[in-house]
Structure 1
Amino acid sequence: MEVFLSICLGLGLSASSGFRVFLPMLIANIAAMSGWISPAESFAWLATWPAFFALLTATIAEIGGYYVPFIDNLLDTIATPAAIIAGTLLSTSFIQIDNPVLQWGLGLILGGGTAGMVQVGTGLLRLLSSKTTAGLGNPVVSTAENVASFGLSGLAIFLPIIAMVLVVLLILWLFRKIANLRKTK
């Protein structure tokens, strides 16, 4: 059961990285420093004060950047590979498996894949918002992404099974929306 819960935690945090790269890492850092969750031994740096200050600075810069018109679209381009890396790191750091190859493999496939899929979905949403509102609707999208990242991160830490169910539903919804976009072209 511990392995299953750790996978749910990692999956929830990595999906949150698809909305914001650094916010889930900051929340995981705070939760780890508070003793609510425990990263794997090789990821003990995640529960340190230097990591807190670095992640806090990066989170503030990232959230602020998403409220600047056209910078938000540039950030989405940069955020896609960054989200995959963050999702991989977050899921790998909490998956409780003794085999490092399996741990990193699951982290990359589950965590990186989930973060990448969510990031692609949010990037498409921002592009649609930019096209239809000339960028005026992007702050609303940014706020929704901030709330989603924060909320899903909290759920992943305190209710990991519910977070995993929500992530699966989100991914299925994104697949359906992308399939509908392909049909309309």
Structure 2
Amino acid sequence: MDLLESIGIGLGLGAAAGFRIVAPFLVLSAVALFGHVPLADNLDWLGTYPAFIGLLVALAFEMLIYFIPWLDALAETVALPLATVAGTLLMALATNQLDPFAQWSLAIIAGGGTAATVRGLSGFTRLVSTATTGGLANFLIAIAEILGALLLSFLALALPLVVLVVVAVMLAIAIQFALKTYQNSRLRTPEDAA
């Protein structure tokens, strides 16, 4: 497999983990179970029915948590570090042909960083939704997140070079949004609040 394809797979799965932590592992399990993606020997367990069913239950539980307004806020406290670890692991799995130093450097910076950025932006969106709708619209965000996670996971495995571009655009938009938000907060003065 080409290095760029491996990075595309890792970034796509990492970004998907930023939306929903379990979704990319479930998709990886499903495609391995049906023989579409070969797994390394130490990951053969991921392509088994017990792993698939366990991940399916875990995803259902994760989805349920985000449909309950007060529980989703509680879940957000652990979602960022868990998504970062998941993104790191997924990138490491995708780039296992590299030497360990390059593999884990890329995994931590690109995989974990992408997952953390997506999770942070998603958490910010949920925070704004909670502040403006009292949490009533959070279920719409939860639906968008699960669909985004599943779509990105499948695309990462099917079209990794396309996903590489999609994730790069997503990250550019997130950075632009963060900079704009920061600039707007610096432009406000105490008199504006009165």
TM-score, length-normalised on structure 1? Answer: 0.94
Q: Conserved in 2, the CA contact under 8 Å of 1:3 and 1:96?
A: no
Of 77-86 and 99-108, more deviation after overlay is shown by 99-108
Query: 2: CA distance between counterparts of 1:49 and 1:3?
Result: 30
Query: 2: CA distance between counterparts of 1:42 and 1:98?
Result: 17
What secondary structure, in the 3-state scheme, does the structure 1 residue paired with 2:29 have?
helix
Residue matched to 1:113: 113
Ranges of 4+ aligned residues in structure 1 off by more than 6 Å: none
State the Cα deviation string for residues 129-182 of structure 1 (Å, max 9, x = none): 000111111011111111111111111111111111111111110111111111
What secondary structure, in the 3-state scheme, does the structure 2 residue paired with 1:70 have?
helix
Residue matched to 2:13: 13
Q: Conserved in 2, the CA contact under 8 Å of 1:39 and 1:94?
A: no
Query: 2: CA distance between counterparts of 1:94 and 1:118?
Result: 19
Query: 2: CA distance between counterparts of 1:157 and 1:136?
Result: 34
- In the alignment, structure 1 residue 74 sits paired with structure 2 residue 79: no
Q: Conserved in 2, the CA contact under 8 Å of 1:39 and 1:93?
A: no
Deviation at 1:96, TM superposition (A): 3.9
- Quickly say closer, same or farther: Cα 1:47–1:94, change in 2 above 3 A: farther
What secondary structure, in the 3-state scheme, does the structure 1 residue paired with 2:97 have?
coil
Of 123-132 and 37-46, more deviation after overlay is shown by 37-46
Q: Conserved in 2, the CA contact under 8 Å of 1:87 and 1:111?
A: yes
Map 1:1-185 to 2 at 5 A: 2-185=2-185
State the Cα deviation string for residues 50-73 of structure 1 (Å, max 9, x = none): 322221121110011100011111
What secondary structure, in the 3-state scheme, does the structure 2 residue paired with 1:136 have?
coil
Deviation at 1:98, TM superposition (A): 4.2
TM-score, length-normalised on structure 2? Answer: 0.90
Q: Which amino acid aligns with 1:15?
A: A
Greater Rg by CA: 2
- Quickly say closer, same or farther: Cα 1:172–1:136, change in 2 above 3 A: same
Count the aligned residue pairs: 185
- Quickly say closer, same or farther: Cα 1:148–1:166, change in 2 above 3 A: same
Query: 2: CA distance between counterparts of 1:33 and 1:146?
Result: 21
Aligned residues: CA RMSD: 1.4
Identity %: 37
Q: Which amino acid aligns with 1:27?
A: V
Query: 2: CA distance between counterparts of 1:11 and 1:47?
Result: 21
Show structure 1 runs of 5+ residues with no match.
none
